[in-house]
Amino acid sequence: MSKVYDLIILGAGPAGLSAGLYAGRSRISTLIIEKSKDGGQIAITDEIENYPGSLPEETGPSLIKRMTDQAAKFGVERCADTITEVDFTGEIKKITGTKGEYLAKSIIIATGANPRPMGCPGEKEYVGKGVSYCATCDGAFFEDMEIYVVGGGDSAVEEAMYLTRFGRKVTIIHRRDQLRAAKSIQEKAFKNPKMDFMWDSVVTEVKGEDGVMTSMIVENVKTGEKTEIFADEEDGIFGLFVFVGFLPTTQLFEGKVAMENGYIIGDENMHTNVPGVFVAGDCRVKSLRQVVTAAADGAIAATQVEKYLEHLEG
């Protein structure tokens, strides 16, 4: 018979690790299941400036390592597995993964979100061959080359500035005529001599030869004019980094909990519509998706799990 945990946390991003920390300190038997590496989106973020108390020159990986170590300190168990099915119908919840079955009295869904693709022809074919969604992962591949960044929010502009460490020129392609990023971030970007901007524009197609991206079609949304941008002949390739938002990683829970536009609905105390199932972080309906709000969600969810378990035993 599989062990029945008090709590299983699905996901080891800031929300899941924060929940694990609080649950561990409360002596709740807890298992965190993560299919890849800890951290979610911040694991691929170079600079963390808006998390209270973060260290100077803080990076996503450095912050998440401290979170992981802190959760482990309080006895939280870990498992690396890909979940394929969930059953939330009984008092004991059943999680099925590729490596086995896991049972718990309560669940916190903290599966986060993944980068949203542009959705244009050729994009999928050239992921890892010119197209990327992670500046810290792939920036070094484009040393002294042309780099383009699609997007205009905080992440897009911050990652574009990071990419100026590698590319000889970094151009932001944005569908509007002004950035959406915070003013402080914009000011830094406009002062950076290696930054350029292509306004009112979208990428409509990505093309390539011999297995690598060699050109893209950019359309001006106001005039309809299309321009094909080619890689420098000597380079043979350029970098196209896409930061246009995220899609919640929640497909597994469709029909299992109430959702809205793919995001899981939770109240202010992280309760879903299913007793014993809670939600935290970027996968839930909320107004602000940041490390600090994910961590707060996790803390609230774990505290509510403790109350739920007391009620079960009462």
Instruction: Give domain status of residue 172, yes or no.
Output: yes
Residue 215: per-residue pLDDT? 97
Per-residue confidence band for 314, with pLDDT thresholds at 50, 70 and 90: low
Answer whether residue 226 is part of any domain: yes
pLDDT digit string (tens) for 36-58? 888 877 776 766 777 888 888 88
- Give mean pLDDT, residues 90-116: 95
DSSP letter (8 states) at residue 117:
P
Say yes or no: 172 and 222 in one domain: yes
* Shared-domain flag, residues 238 and 250: no
Question: How many CA atoms are closer than 13 Å to the CA of 303, on its beta-carbon side?
Answer: 10
Share of the chain above pLDDT 70, in %: 98
303 and 237 part of one domain? no
Angle (CA) 288 57 23, round 5°: 50
In a shared domain, residues 97 and 165: no
> For position 262, which CATH number holds?
3.50.50.60
Query: Each residue of 271-310: pLDDT tens digit?
Result: 999 999 999 999 999 988 889 999 999 999 999 999 999 9
Helix (H, G, I), strand (E, B) or coil at 159: helix
Please tell me the predicted confidence (pLDDT) of residue 19. Answer: 97
Give me the pLDDT at residue 46, please.
66
Residues 6 or more apart in contact with residue 102 via CB below 8 angstroms = 2, 5, 8, 31, 33, 79, 94, 95, 96
User: Domains in the chain: how many in total?
Assistant: 2
Domain shared by 86 and 191, yes or no: no
Q: At 137, which helix (H) or strand (E)?
A: helix 135-138
Output 95 or 51, whichever has higher pLDDT. 95
pLDDT, mean of residues 255-261: 96
Mean pLDDT of the chain, nearest integer: 93
pLDDT at residue 2 tops 90: no
Q: Which two tokens stand for residue 165?
A: 């460490």
User: Is residue 136 assigned to a domain?
Assistant: yes
Between 200 and 52, residue with greater pLDDT: 200
93 assigned to some structural domain: yes
Of how many residues is the chain composed?
Answer: 314
Q: Is residue 119 part of a domain?
A: no
Q: What is the pLDDT of residue 189?
A: 96
Residue-wise pLDDT for 108-127, tens only, equals 999 999 889 999 999 999 99
Known catalytic residues? 134, 137-138
Please, which residues bridge with residue 195 across strands? Answer: 170
Q: Is the pLDDT of residue 243 over 70?
A: yes
Residues 271 and 303 grouped into a single domain = yes
| Residues 106 and 156 both lie in one domain | no
Q: Which residues contact 89 (CB under 8 A, 6 or more apart)?
A: none
Please indicate, yes or no, if residue 45 is contained in any of the structural domains: yes
pLDDT tier for residue 1 given thresholds of 50, 70 and 90: very low
Please tell me whether residues 157 and 227 are part of one structural domain: yes
The domain containing residue 232 runs over which residues?
124-242
**Do 76 and 129 belong together in one domain?**
no
Half-sphere exposure at residue 186, Cβ-oriented, CA atoms within 13 angstroms? 10
258 and 209 fall within a common domain:
no
Structural domain contains residue 26: yes
Report the C-alpha gap between 149 and 197 in whole angstroms.
9
- Does 176 map to a domain? yes
- Could you say which of 200, 222, 242 is where a domain stops? 242
Are residue 128 and residue 234 in the same domain, yes or no? yes
Residues 209 and 131 reside in one and the same domain: yes
Distance CA 36, CA 114 (A): 13
Query: 216, 242, 268 — which closes off a domain?
Result: 242
**Residue at which a domain ends, from 227, 242, 257:** 242
